[in-house]
């Protein structure tokens, strides 16, 4: 049975979409079938994989105008990588889902029929803790929380942890934290090392050993509509995400 993982942090610019795309691509290269669900109205995961949205997307699936199976696009460059694209209409999903009796369960209902077709389903959440993110957490088996290596990183974690705790208590008792992932790390910055130490002190084994380094190739790749592995496989960004994929697979063995 496939495992559903949400990538969430209400703070923007922490490497959430970058991690979703590049961990999925790395896992696919290692032989896994991975479906990305772009649940962010900004559609960065969609464009970052070289796709455009169409009439069948995450929004139309959530409101019952399409089903997941008929909305899935396959990467032409990486055989095991698939996507349900985003749509700007997701901006209105907060209101639409909030008015539905089963509004909190729509993402779970949407993904259940295709869950067993993939090793992993990744949900790229929007940088907020609204109804869309709640839907993703209700659907998920676990959550990966990217954390930027900066002094204010720990300040915002309380909100996401409270949301996970509330979801676990009321709607999804099986929800777990897959791990905290340190991103945008520079070994030359003293504060980056201090933040990594602080997060590891607070969360211990829930923090991934792999740290994602700052890398220009990593930031360039979305502009070419490719994961960094296809943009520059020898870059430190590509190596970081391959290492993360291997650690991820060990943790899920």
pLDDT of residue 101: 85
**pLDDT band (50, 70, 90) for residue 169:** very high
pLDDT of residue 98: 79
Q: What is the pLDDT of residues 76-120, one digit of tens each?
A: 899 999 999 999 999 988 888 878 888 899 999 999 999 999 999
Do β-strands 73-74 and 120-125 pair in parallel, antiparallel, or remain unpaired?
Answer: unpaired
Q: By percentage, how much of the chain surpasses pLDDT 90?
A: 73
Q: What are phi and psi of 93, to 5 degrees?
A: -65, -30
- Whether 131 and 93 have beta carbons less than 8 Å apart is answered as yes
pLDDT of residue 146: 95
Token pair for 213: 């380094």
* Closest residue by Cα to residue 18 from 156, 235, 217, 192: 217
Q: What are the extents of the domains in the chain?
A: 3-251
Distance CA 111, CA 20 (A): 17
Token pair for 219: 């930031």
Contacts of 85 (CB under 8 A, 6+ apart): 38, 43, 46, 51, 52, 53, 54, 57, 58, 71, 73
**pLDDT band (50, 70, 90) for residue 188:** confident
**pLDDT band (50, 70, 90) for residue 152:** confident
pLDDT of residue 161: 93
DSSP letter (8 states) at residue 116: G
Q: Is the pLDDT of residue 189 over 80?
A: no
pLDDT of residue 185: 86
Q: What is the mean pLDDT of the chain?
A: 93
Please give the CATH architecture assigned to the domain spanning 3-251: 3-Layer(aba) Sandwich (3.40)
Token pair for 144: 């990966």
- Whether 36 and 49 have beta carbons less than 8 Å apart is answered as yes
Residue given tokens 């290692």 in the structure block: 30
User: 168 or 11, which is more confident?
Assistant: 168
Q: How far is CA 228 from CA 199, 209, 215, 218, in A?
A: 26, 20, 10, 6
Q: Is the pLDDT of residue 141 over 90?
A: yes
* Closest residue by Cα to residue 69 from 108, 111, 40: 111
pLDDT of residue 234: 95
Q: What is the pLDDT of residues 17-59, one digit of tens each?
A: 999 999 999 999 999 999 999 999 999 999 999 998 889 999 9
* Closest residue by Cα to residue 40 from 103, 95, 84: 84
Q: What are phi and psi of 146, to 5 degrees?
A: -70, 135
Contacts of 76 (CB under 8 A, 6+ apart): none
DSSP letter (8 states) at residue 66: S
């Amino acid at each position: 049975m496939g495992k559903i993982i949400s990538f969430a942090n209400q703070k923007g610019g922490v490497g959430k979409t970058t991690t979703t795309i590049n961990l999925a691509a790395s896992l696919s290269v290692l032989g896994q079938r991975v479906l990305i669900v772009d649940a962010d109205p900004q559609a960065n995961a969609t464009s970052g994989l070289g796709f455009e949205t169409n009439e069948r997307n995450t929004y139309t699936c959530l409101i019952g105008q399409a089903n997941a199976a008929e909305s899935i696009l396959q990467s032409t460059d990486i055989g095991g990588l698939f996507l349900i694209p985003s749509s700007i209409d997701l901006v209105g999903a907060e209101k639409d889902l909030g008015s539905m009796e089963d509004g909190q369960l729509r993402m779970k209902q949407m993904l259940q029929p295709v869950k067993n077709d993939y090793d992993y389903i990744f949900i790229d959440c929007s940088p907020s803790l609204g109804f869309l993110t709640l839907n993703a957490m209700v659907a998920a088996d676990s959550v990966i929380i990217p954390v930027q290596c900066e002094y204010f990183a720990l300040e915002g974690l309380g909100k996401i942890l409270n949301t996970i705790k509330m979801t676990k208590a009321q709607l999804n008792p099986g929800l777990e934290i897959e791990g905290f992932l340190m991103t945008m790390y520079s070994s030359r910055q003293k504060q980056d090392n201090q933040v990594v130490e602080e997060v590891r002190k607070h969360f211990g084994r829930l923090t991934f050993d792999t740290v994602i380094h700052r890398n220009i190739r990593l930031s360039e790749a979305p502009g070419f509509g490719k994961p960094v592995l296809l943009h520059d496989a020898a870059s430190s960004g590509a190596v970081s995400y391959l290492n993360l994929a291997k650690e991820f697979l060990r943790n899920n063995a």
